[in-house]
A and B are shown apart, each in its own frame.
Chain A
Amino acid sequence: MIPAIEIRNLHKSYEDTIALRGIDLTIRPGEFYGLLGPNGAGKTTTIGIITGLVRLEEGSVSVFGKDIIRDYRFTRSKIGLSPQEFTSDWFFPIDKLLIFQAGYYGIPKKEAQPRVEELLERFGLTEKRGTKMRQLSGGMKRRFQIAKALVNDPDILILDEPTAGVDVQLRHMLWDFLRELHQQGKTILLTTHYIEEAELLCERVSIINDGSIVSEGTPQELIRSLGKGMIEVALSGWDGSLEAKMSSFDFVYEPETDGGRLIFSVDNPERELTNIIATLSSNECHIHEVKINKASLEDVFVATTGRGIND
């Protein structure tokens, strides 16, 4: 299968900093892919190179098998980009800007018009169609930005921090919309600061740190690779003789005034939970409370980059 985006050995440096130190990335057609990383990790540079905003220095990028430099007309026509920073215009109302944007992609006005109407409607901007960009609220600007990225009906949609600074309601609307696009078969590349977002939407993610990819896989694979989750059981009726019966588990017992607390370290908390409960119940322990702590993508992030995403 020809990858939607294939990045090989991508290097990039700015005057005094190295932005990318040899990135390799393969995104399959129809995949929902997440690029996670702290600020300055190289996410926006990578996206910039794919879309032609940043000069390619070393390495190669192909889109549906075609080189982004040699076949730029083909590759750019396949991609829609919603950049992190708003791109603004002081002169024209937003409906006109969408028609222009379609035009730059070689789509005649007649053909673009119905699509523009549909996008304005879909993003709740029909009433604001005669408004200039700077008169829109932040949320509306974000919606417009994404509508603009879709005006050429791209096979690949690249979204750089699409939900940064938007309210919860809009975030959920955008998530629904992205899921819908994904179901329609669009390839989506997303960068985000909200790890929850990547965990929720992306089929595969890469964690990028200091210009290198430090881990890649499905969110579940990454979480599993980190290993341990935790189950905490508050109970009464525990006695030392039960320790032998529970020896297949990795746990510690902490006595408390009214009973005690067992803390299990497990690979898969959901699977192990029934075994633990069954063993304890059959040995006449009285369970008061159970808490499960699953490892999250955030833990993976901290473990692989050595810092939180907002640090």
Chain B
Amino acid sequence: MINWIGFRTLVLREVTRFFSVYRQTVIPGLISSGLYIIIFGLTLQRRITAIDGVPYTVYILPGLIMMNVITNAYNNTASSMLQMKLLQQIQDMLITPLSNVELALAFIIGGAVRGFVNGILVLFLGIFLVGMPVENPFSAIFIIFMVSWAFSSIGLVIGIMAETWDNIATMVNFFITPLIFLGGVFYSIDMLPGFWRTISLANPIYYLINGLRQSVLGVGDTPFSTSLIASVFMTLLFSSIGIFLFHRGYRIKS
């Protein structure tokens, strides 16, 4: 038996939570993406004419979308979970008839919605600002959704393990941001020397960015199927870890 009402309530709480502070959770991504498009795109476009036949400003857009999806999805669950632990608010949920799977999934969906909303908004920004074409809208939406879910579940895992805000920021500053930037947001890895190209192939975010680039622009370094497998694999792996941690009560129950 599933506690549907309880589950829906927690999802609603998580989604309403970030919408209630949209100036922190929705607008900044749009502004920074707009700035990237204007500053990076329009200035560098004069020097880098096209990659794979795509104008540079358009080429970087899928990467910008993914950057927003990843950071928003991650930050939502990581900060929501840590805040709930610090304010002891998590207790209000743990004493209710919500199962560990329901709790973990409700948090993950909250973050996934934020990542997805941000991704779609930046996608529209690209369409309106520089007339970005969307070759395959369905696969674009699908991969944005999968990556939102994957990084929301990573956020949940880190939020559960974290004891301070510093822990959460460390993960962003030392892992996620470097991996995003090295994942080919602003370039094709064909432009890298051999050694760095090989290193890039070990970066999971590289496949996610290319997956979206394939669906939006029809070009990319890797086939769409590889990106799909990478995103589904990350989603399953980290969602399972999140559920497992809830089940164990790791740093949630004493």
Interface residues of A (CB under 8 A from B): 14, 45, 48, 51-55, 72-74, 76-77, 79, 81, 83, 85-92, 100-101, 103-108, 148, 152
Query: Per a CB cutoff under 8 Å, which of B1, B9, B17 touches A103?
Result: B9
With A104-B6, A104-B93, A106-B97: A87-B254 Cβ-Cβ less than 8 Å: no
Minimal Cβ-Cβ distance residue in A for B98:
A104
Minimal Cβ-Cβ distance residue in A for B253:
A55
Minimal Cβ-Cβ distance residue in A for B96:
A104
With A52-B95, A105-B96, A106-B3: A91-B17 Cβ-Cβ less than 8 Å: yes
Query: Per a CB cutoff under 8 Å, which of B8, B9, B13, B95 touches A51?
Result: B95
Interface residues of B (CB under 8 A from A): 1, 3-6, 8-10, 12-13, 16-17, 20-21, 83, 87-89, 91-99, 249, 253-254
Contacting residues, chain B, for A48 (C-beta < 8 A): 254
Is the Cβ of A54 less than 8 Å from the Cβ of B253?
A: yes
Is the Cβ of A106 less than 8 Å from the Cβ of B253?
A: no
Contacting residues, chain A, for B6 (C-beta < 8 A): 103-106
- Measured in the bound complex, the distance between the Cα atoms of B16 and A108 in whole Å is 17
Is the Cβ of B5 less than 8 Å from the Cβ of A87?
A: no
Query: Per a CB cutoff under 8 Å, which of B9, B13, B254 touches A53?
Result: B254
Contacting residues, chain A, for B254 (C-beta < 8 A): 14, 45, 48, 53-55
- 9 tightest A-B CB contacts, nearest first: A103-B9, A104-B96, A73-B97, A88-B87, A87-B88, A76-B97, A106-B5, A104-B6, A51-B95
Query: Per a CB cutoff under 8 Å, which of B21, B92, B249 touches A101?
Result: B92
With A85-B88, A90-B87, A107-B5: A53-B95 Cβ-Cβ less than 8 Å: yes
B16, B99, B254 — most chain A CB neighbours (10 Å) = B254
Contacting residues, chain B, for A88 (C-beta < 8 A): 87-89
A48, A52, A74, A148 — most chain B CB neighbours (10 Å) = A52
- Measured in the bound complex, the distance between the Cα atoms of B96 and A106 in whole Å is 9
B6, B91, B95, B99 — most chain A CB neighbours (10 Å) = B95
Min distance, Cβ A263 to any Cβ of chain B, angstroms: 50
Is the Cβ of A81 less than 8 Å from the Cβ of B253?
A: no
- Measured in the bound complex, the distance between the Cα atoms of B96 and A100 in whole Å is 11
Contacting residues, chain A, for B98 (C-beta < 8 A): 104
- Measured in the bound complex, the distance between the Cα atoms of B240 and A119 in whole Å is 39
Min distance, Cβ B57 to any Cβ of chain A, angstroms: 37
Minimal Cβ-Cβ distance residue in B for A105:
B96
Contacting residues, chain B, for A77 (C-beta < 8 A): 96-97
Contacting residues, chain B, for A73 (C-beta < 8 A): 1, 3, 97, 99
With A72-B97, A104-B6: A53-B1 Cβ-Cβ less than 8 Å: no
Known contacts A51-B95, A83-B91, A88-B89, then 12 further A-B pairs from the complex at CB < 8 Å, ordered by chain A residue? A52-B95, A76-B96, A76-B97, A79-B95, A85-B88, A87-B88, A87-B91, A90-B83, A92-B17, A100-B10, A104-B10, A104-B98
